Structure 1
Amino acid sequence: MLTLPMLALLLPASPADDPPPVPEPRGYVASRAPGPITIDGLLDDPGWEGIPWTETFVDIEGDVKPLPRFQTRAKMAWDDRFFYIAADLEEPHVWGTLTEHDSVIFRDNDFEVFIDPDGDNHQYYEFEINALNTGWDLRLVKPYRDGGPALNEWEIPGLKTAVHVRGTLNDSSDEDDGWSVEIAMPWSVLSEFTAMPCPPRDGDRWRVNFSRVEWLHRVVDGTYQKVPDRREDNWVWSPQGVIDMHRPERWGDVQFSTAPPGTVAFQPDPARPARDFLHRVYEAQKSYHREHGRFAESFEELGIDPAGWTSPQLETTGDGYTASVIAPGEEGEPPRRWTIRQDSLLTSGPAS
C-alpha cells in the first residue's frame, strides 16, 4: 500500500471543487499493428509503420497556460497479445535517479500512462516510467477525490518496456536530443478489472491519457538537481483543465480499429455531451453537499436546467444520489441511459 507521504504527493495540487469548464477531449484511432513490434525503445519496427502520432502535448490546465518548452508525442497500436504505447520526448538534458521498481517515479522526469477501459471512472490503471527504464504500476479503485484508494501492490505480469536515449544519460557536460519509450501491456492484465473485451473489438472505446512530468533543474558539481521551491511541469495529451490527472472523465477517447492505419477517421462519442452533463451535476452536488450537509433532491435545487436532455432523473439514495439522462448510442445502436452517482461512478444501461 502507498504510505501517507506518497499519497500526499499523488493528491491534486489544485482545489478539487468548482473546476473550470471541461476542455474538449482528444480523440485517437488505435489501429492493429501492421507488423511486429520489438520493445527496444527505437520506434523503428514494421508494427509502427503508418501509425500516427497524437497531437503534441499541452499543459495539463490547457490553453490557460503556455505551451510546453519541449515537444512530447505518443502513438498507440495493438495486436492479439498487447496494447502498445510509444512516446517521444524532446529533452536537452536526459537524467534520472530512481532505479527501484515501484518508486514514486514522478519525482524524476517521467512519462505516464492512464487507462480506464470501460470509461466508468473507477478501476483504472496507471503506469509511470523514467529515463532509466524504472517503472511504477498501480491501480486506482476510484479517483482520489472520491476516496481512492491506490493499490501499489498491483503488478503487470508480462509487461515489456524499453527506453532509448538520444544522447548521454546523466551527463551534464553535453546536450541531448531526447528519449523515447516503448511499452507493451498484456491484454491478460488489462482485462482484470473490466468487462470490456481484451483485446478490444473493432469500434470499442477506452479512456486513455498520457502525462509527462518535467522538473526544472540546475547542475551542481556535475550532477543534476531540481531547482528548489519550484514545482514540476505537467504536460499531457488530453488537457485536464486542472492540475490533477485523476479525473478520468477528462481523458482522451481511444477508438480501436481493425482496419489498416490511416483508413478510419475518429468518430466522436455520441454520449460524450451526456457524460459531461452528468459530471457537471456531480460537481454541483459536491458543492451543494458541502454547503448544506446533504445532496440536492432536484436539478432545480442545484441551479441546473435539464431542459434539452431526454428523460432527466435525479434521485437521492440512502448514501447519496443518482442522476441520469438518455443519450444516443453508437452508430446502429439504440439509445442508452447514462447514470452517475456520488462517487463519480458512471454507468450505462438500456434506455427506460
Structure 2
Amino acid sequence: MVVWGLAMGVCVLGAFLSPGCRSNTESSTGAPWGIDVPFVARPPAVDGILEETWSQAAAGNLLLGDGRSLPRYGTRYRLLWSGSALFVAFQCEDPDMSGKYRKRDEPLYMDEVVEVFLDVDADRQDYVEIEVSPRNVLFDASFGARRQGMELGFNPRLVSAVRVAGTIDDDSDRDSGYTVELEIPFQELRGQGRLPPEPGDVWQVNFFRIDKSFGREEASMLSPALGDFHNLDAFVAMRFSAPGR
C-alpha cells in the first residue's frame, strides 16, 4: 500500500481483525491524503471470504471522527481494482450485529452498515453512495451535488457478499462480526471521469461504518467528515496503480 503524505504508526485491533495501522487523514499541508489501489489481473471471487488475492490490497483501519482514535469495534478496509471493476472489502468487529432492513434502498444508514462514497471525476460535485448491511442488503443512490438531487433509481449491477460470524438480531449471544465484499463494475457508475479508469487516474472517496452494538451508536470513517458523511471536501484521493506496481 502506498499512502501519500501520511504519518503511520502501529495499532492492534481485536482478534477478529488483522493487526493494522493507525493513520492520520491529513498531510502536514492540511490536504487529504491518498491511497494507491493495486491492480489485479485475476480478481477475487466475491463470496464473503477474503482469499489470497486480497493480500495484495491497499488496506487500513477506519477511525473515529477526530481522525486519530480507534472505535470500540474495529473496521478494516481493503481495496483492489481490475480492468472492469473496483473491489472493496470490510472486516467488521461486531459483538451485537443488527440488520432490520430487508429490501434494497431502504434506509440502511439508520442501522448497522458499511458505506462507500465515490466521486469518479474528483470534481467534488456529483457522486454515488453505496451501502451494504450485515444482511447483504444494498442501498445505492447518485447525487448531482452535496446532498442534492438524490436518485434512488440508480441501481447499478453490483456484486456483494457478506459472511457473518454470529447471529443477526439475536441479543442472547455474543457475535464476532461480519465481512463484506463488494464488486463495483466501472461501467455501472456515473460521473464525467474516464470509465473504466486508466493507471494514474484519481478518484475521490470516503468510507464509513455505523455500529450500534448494545444500543450505542458509533461511526467510524476513512477521513473525518466533520459531522456530514456527504462532506465532499473530506473525500480522500484514490489513485489507480499500474499493473505490477
Please state which band the TM-score falls in when normalised by the shorter chain: 0.7 to 0.9
Write the mapping of 1:242-261 to structure 2, written as runs, cut at 5 A: 242-260=226-244
Are 1:68 and 2:67 an aligned pair? no
- Greater RCO (CA < 8 Å, at least 6 residues apart): 2
2 CA distance for matches of 1:32 and 1:199? 13
- Is the CA contact 1:214–1:233 (under 8 Å) kept in the aligned structure 2? yes
Please show how residues 231-250 of structure 1 align to structure 2 within 5 Å. Answer: 232-240=217-225, 242-250=226-234
Residue pair 1:212, 1:235 contacting (<8 A) in 2 also: yes
| Structure 1 letter corresponding to 2:36 | V
How many positions carry a matched residue from both structures? Answer: 217
Q: Could you tell me which residue of structure 1 aligns to residue 200 of structure 2?
A: 203
Q: CA RMSD in A?
A: 1.9
User: What is aligned with 2:12?
Assistant: none
**Aligned AA for 1:47?**
T
Paired amino acid for 2:45: T
CA contact (8 A) 2:94 2:213 kept: no
Q: How far apart in 2 are the matches of 1:53 and 1:23?
A: 22
TM-score, reference length from structure 1: 0.58
Task: Supply the distance in 2 between the matched residues of 1:206 and 1:26 (Cα, whole angstroms).
Answer: 12
Mind listing any 5+ residue stretches in structure 2 that lack a counterpart?
1-28
For residue 42 of structure 2, the aligned residue among 35, 41, 45 is 35
Superposed CA offset, 1:167-190 (max 9, x none): 223332222221110111111112
Cα distance in 1, alignment partners of residues 146 and 44 from structure 2: 33
State the partner residue of 1:152: 152
Q: Distance in 2 between matches of 1:177 and 1:50?
A: 25
Query: Is the aligned partner of 1:50 residue 2:56?
Result: yes
Deviation sequence 1:92-147 (CA, Å, 0-9, x none) = 12221100110000111100000001111111000111100011100011003xxx
Residues in 2 aligned to 1:244 and 1:36: alpha-carbon distance in whole angstroms: 33
Instruction: Look up the SS of the partner of 1:53 in the other structure.
Output: strand
SS at match of 2:59: coil
Distance apart, 1:81 and its partner CA: 1.6
In 2, distance between residues paired with 1:58 and 1:82?
A: 26
Secondary structure of the corresponding residue to residue 163 of structure 1: strand
Amino acid at match of 2:46: I
Aligned partners of 2:78 and 2:90 also within 8 Å: yes
Say yes or no: does 1:130 pair with 2:133.
yes
The amino acid of 2:150's aligned partner reads A
Paired letter, 1:200: P
**What CA distance in whole angstroms lies between the structure 1 residues aligned with 2:41 and 2:89?**
15
2:103 is equivalent to residue 95 of structure 1: no
- Residue pairs, 1:134-283, within 5 angstroms: 134-144=137-147, 148-156=148-156, 158-190=157-189, 192-194=190-192, 196-217=193-214, 226=215, 232-240=217-225, 242-260=226-244, 263=245
Instruction: Tell me the SS of whatever aligns to 2:56.
Output: coil
User: What displacement does 1:214 show?
Assistant: 1.6
* 1:11-70 deviation digits (Å, cap 9, x = unpaired): xxxxxxxxxxx96524211111252311111111x432321312x11112434xx53101
Question: Which of 68, 74, 82 in structure 2 is aligned with 1:79?
Answer: 82
Amino acid at match of 1:104: P
Higher helix share: 1
Is residue 109–residue 215 contact of structure 1 (8 Å, CA) maintained in 2? yes
Equivalences for residues 110-129 of structure 1 within 5 A: 110-129=113-132
1:207 and 1:118, CA in 2 relative to 1: closer, same or farther beyond 3 A? same
Q: 1:25 aligns with which of 27, 32, 39?
A: 32
**Percent same amino acid among aligned pairs?**
29
Distance 1:41 1:109 in 2: 17
Give the alignment's TM-score, normalised by structure 2. 0.82
> In 1, Cα distance between the equivalents of 2:43 and 2:82?
9
1:211, distance to aligned residue in structure 2 (A): 0.4
Bigger Rg, structure 1 or 2: 1
Cα 1:247–1:47, aligned 2, differ >3 Å: closer, same or farther?
A: same
